[in-house]
């Protein structure tokens, strides 16, 4: 009979290999476990956060993870501070806008796939990102266990979260099934829709009077008109911190309409307390020109600022108010300002939703879920790929609550 190992050195080599393999598995499991246990812990630090960029993509924002993962030849790491300096410094506002346009190009869903050479590193990129931002569906049980004994409060973005991103922003309708799902969610949990859109517009898409609506990135908040069970006292919730900016916003809206009419497909949307300039239907070759037009109008209005979303530039008052502030305001209105018995869940797909994710990290409460098919730099703890997955997550949430209630 032939011996299993031809010599003792082969035997020791085999044992060493197996031990190394077991050690790697332990390290991998430990890292995953560590990530899971840290989901609700405050870890965000503007100065020290590390951003990982893949060398295969031209975008500064698109494929990034919040912790560097050592994959040979795949990444360079730079600090967030250096990245922000790179965006804001040197060329000033113009440089920043150019970087935004590049970012929009890179994250465009219609963009052709990268050449075959980059595919394997993109797959690795995806894997490492998912490791740090696991699917909220696969982690559903763990999330629900973390929420036990606490009041879940739902915060939902609209475009790209409850409805698909479509070419014509006026036709971003949500499905009937999604509407029914959100209606069910609101039966069991206080539920707010937090959108960059005008509050009336987002209400016209959703049509559920039992929800809180925070339009214009949270600058226009109104409580439910029916189903008042979560409302404090008899006062209806209303918050409009940027009221004084209304005349200026209207003036800029008219100027932007005039300035951008030479670019086919450019649309300017008046969201009452902010303005959206949509790039969705504009030829990519014209994006730089459109961004420059927006910048030229804005230079006369120092009290307004520009932010970037998915294929959109947004004009907003310079006041310190965003989706994160809206979240805090709503939690306070619901009586959870300083409570530890609350578990807010914020689901969104856009850069503007990061303000909500950041607040949750800072409070050490609840979770943020980013809706994205591609790796992105984010403060969210979990991910979902698209609105259909959001709907499935919400349906599981309702089922979980129903089964919990049926046991009591
Ligand atoms: Mg969105």
Average pLDDT, the chain: 78
pLDDT category, 241, cuts 50, 70, 90? Answer: very high
Domain that holds residue 264: 243-317
306 & 163 share domain: no
Ligand 1 center from residue 403 Cα (angstroms): 31
Given a cut of 60, whether residue 123 has pLDDT beyond it is: yes
Ligand 1 center from residue 350 Cα (angstroms): 5
- In the predicted model, what is the mean pLDDT of residues 187-215? 96
Ligand 1 center from residue 160 Cα (angstroms): 5
In whole angstroms, what is the distance from residue 162 CA to residue 157 CA?
A: 7
- 32 within domain boundaries: no
274 & 167 share domain: no
Backbone angles phi, psi at 133, to 5 degrees: -135, 70
Ligand 1 center from residue 174 Cα (angstroms): 13
Ligand 1 center from residue 10 Cα (angstroms): 58
As a whole-number percent, the residues of the chain with pLDDT over 70 amount to 70
In whole angstroms, what is the distance from residue 131 CA to residue 31 CA?
A: 9
Ligand 1 center from residue 71 Cα (angstroms): 31
CA nearest to 387, candidates 200, 203, 179, 184: 179
Which residues have CB under 8 Å from 289's CB, separation 6+? 263
Q: How far is CA 120 from CA 66, 125, 207, 288, 323, in A?
A: 20, 9, 44, 31, 36
If one counts every other C-beta atom within 10 angstroms of the C-beta of residue 231, the result is 16
- 30 within domain boundaries: no
pLDDT category, 16, cuts 50, 70, 90? Answer: low
Q: How many residues does the chain have?
A: 408
Ligand 1 center from residue 35 Cα (angstroms): 26
Ligand 1 center from residue 397 Cα (angstroms): 21
What's the domain count of the chain? 3
**Confidence at residue 310, expressed as pLDDT on a 0 to 100 scale:** 81
Ligand 1 center from residue 180 Cα (angstroms): 20
Yes or no: say if 304 and 274 are a contact pair by the CB < 8 Å rule. Answer: no
CA dihedral (365, 36, 71, 53) in degrees, to 10, reads: -10
**Confidence at residue 19, expressed as pLDDT on a 0 to 100 scale:** 52
In whole angstroms, what is the distance from residue 18 CA to residue 10 CA?
A: 12
160 & 213 share domain: yes
The pTM of this model reads 0.71
Ligand 1 center from residue 309 Cα (angstroms): 8
Ligand 1 center from residue 322 Cα (angstroms): 14
Q: Cα 69 vs. chain centroid, distance in angstroms?
A: 22
- 9 within domain boundaries: no
**Confidence at residue 106, expressed as pLDDT on a 0 to 100 scale:** 67
158 & 306 share domain: no
Tens of pLDDT, residue by residue over 67-94, are 322 222 222 233 334 433 433 333 456 6
| Helix, strand, or coil (residue 2) | coil
CA nearest to 344, candidates 200, 205, 212: 212
Yes or no: say if 52 and 26 are a contact pair by the CB < 8 Å rule. Answer: no
- 339 within domain boundaries: yes
Ligand 1 center from residue 306 Cα (angstroms): 17
- 270 within domain boundaries: yes
Given a cut of 50, whether residue 391 has pLDDT beyond it is: yes
218 & 331 share domain: yes
Furthest-apart CA pair in the chain: how many Å?
A: 93
Ligand 1 center from residue 195 Cα (angstroms): 7
Ligand 1 center from residue 399 Cα (angstroms): 25
- 236 within domain boundaries: no
162 & 276 share domain: no
Yes or no: say if 337 and 156 are a contact pair by the CB < 8 Å rule. Answer: no
Given a cut of 60, whether residue 130 has pLDDT beyond it is: yes
Ligand 1 center from residue 59 Cα (angstroms): 20
Ligand 1 center from residue 157 Cα (angstroms): 6
Ligand 1 center from residue 348 Cα (angstroms): 6
- 18 within domain boundaries: no
312 & 259 share domain: yes
Here the CATH number for the domain that contains residue 221 is 3.40.50.1000
If one counts every other C-beta atom within 10 angstroms of the C-beta of residue 143, the result is 25
78 & 222 share domain: no
- 24 within domain boundaries: no
351 & 208 share domain: yes
The pair of three-digit structure tokens given for residue 405, joined into one six-digit string = 């209630």
CA nearest to 379, candidates 33, 64, 37, 57: 64
101 & 247 share domain: no
Pairing status of strand 75-79 against strand 304-309: unpaired
385 & 340 share domain: yes
In whole angstroms, what is the distance from residue 154 CA to residue 5 CA?
A: 61
The pair of three-digit structure tokens given for residue 228, joined into one six-digit string = 């008042």
Ligand 1 center from residue 371 Cα (angstroms): 9
Ligand 1 center from residue 176 Cα (angstroms): 19
Task: Tell me which of 87, 116, 132 is where a domain ends.
Answer: 132
Ligand 1 center from residue 163 Cα (angstroms): 9
215 & 252 share domain: no
- In the predicted model, what is the mean pLDDT of residues 349-373? 96
| Sign of the Cα pseudo-torsion (399, 400, 403, 408, in order) | negative
How far from each other are the two terminal CA atoms of the chain, in whole angstroms?
A: 67
The pair of three-digit structure tokens given for residue 66, joined into one six-digit string = 């919040």
Ligand 1 center from residue 43 Cα (angstroms): 24
Task: Tell me which of 295, 317, 339 is where a domain ends.
Answer: 317
Ligand 1 center from residue 158 Cα (angstroms): 6
Task: Tell me which of 302, 317, 332 is where a domain ends.
Answer: 317
In whole angstroms, what is the distance from residue 405 CA to residue 275 CA?
A: 43
Here the CATH number for the domain that contains residue 309 is 3.30.70.1020
If one counts every other C-beta atom within 10 angstroms of the C-beta of residue 208, the result is 18
- In the predicted model, what is the mean pLDDT of residues 133-152? 96
Tens of pLDDT, residue by residue over 246-297, are 999 999 999 999 999 999 999 999 999 999 999 989 999 999 999 999 999 9
Given a cut of 80, whether residue 158 has pLDDT beyond it is: yes
Tens of pLDDT, residue by residue over 313-336, are 999 999 989 999 999 999 999 999
């Amino acid at each position: 009979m032939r011996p299993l190992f031809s010599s003792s050195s082969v035997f020791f080599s085999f044992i060493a290999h197996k031990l190394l393999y077991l050690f790697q598995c332990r390290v991998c499991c430990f890292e995953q476990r560590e990530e899971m246990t840290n989901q609700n812990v405050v870890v965000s630090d503007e100065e020290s956060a590390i951003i990982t960029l893949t060398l295969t993509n031209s975008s500064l924002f698109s494929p990034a993870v919040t912790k560097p993962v050592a994959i040979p030849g795949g990444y360079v790491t730079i600090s967030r501070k250096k990245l922000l300096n790179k965006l804001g410094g040197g060329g000033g506002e113009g440089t920043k806008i150019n970087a935004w346009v590049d970012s929009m190009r890179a994250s465009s869903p219609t963009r052709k796939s990268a050449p075959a050479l980059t595919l394997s590193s993109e797959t690795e990129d995806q894997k490492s990102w998912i490791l740090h931002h696991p699917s909220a569906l696969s982690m559903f049980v763990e999330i629900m266990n973390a929420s036990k004994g606490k009041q879940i409060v739902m915060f939902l973005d609209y475009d790209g979260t409850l409805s698909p991103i479509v070419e014509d922003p006026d036709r971003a309708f949500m499905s009937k099934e999604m509407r029914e799902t959100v209606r069910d969610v609101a039966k069991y949990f206080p539920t707010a829709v937090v959108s960059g859109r005008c509050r009336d517009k987002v209400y016209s898409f959703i049509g559920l009077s039992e929800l809180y609506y925070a339009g214009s990135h949270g600058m226009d908040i109104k409580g439910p008109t029916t189903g008042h069970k979560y409302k404090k006292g008899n006062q209806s919730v209303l918050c409009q911190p940027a009221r004084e900016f209304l005349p200026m916003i209207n003036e800029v809206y008219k100027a932007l309409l005039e300035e951008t009419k030479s670019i086919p497909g450019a649309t300017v949307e008046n969201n009452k307390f902010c303005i959206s300039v949509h790039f969705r239907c504009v030829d990519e070759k014209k994006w730089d020109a459109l961004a420059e037009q927006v910048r030229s109008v804005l230079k006369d209005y120092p009290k307004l600022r520009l932010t970037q979303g998915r294929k959109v530039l947004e004009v907003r008052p310079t006041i310190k108010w965003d989706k994160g502030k809206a979240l805090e305001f709503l939690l306070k209105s619901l009586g959870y300002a300083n409570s530890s018995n609350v578990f807010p869940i914020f689901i969104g797909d856009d850069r503007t939703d990061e303000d909500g994710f950041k607040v949750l990290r800072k409070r050490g409460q609840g979770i943020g879920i980013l809706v994205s098919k591609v790796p992105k730099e984010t403060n969210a703890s979990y991910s979902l790929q698209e609105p259909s997955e959001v709907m499935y997550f919400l349906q599981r949430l309702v089922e979980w609550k129903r089964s919990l209630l049926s046991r009591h």
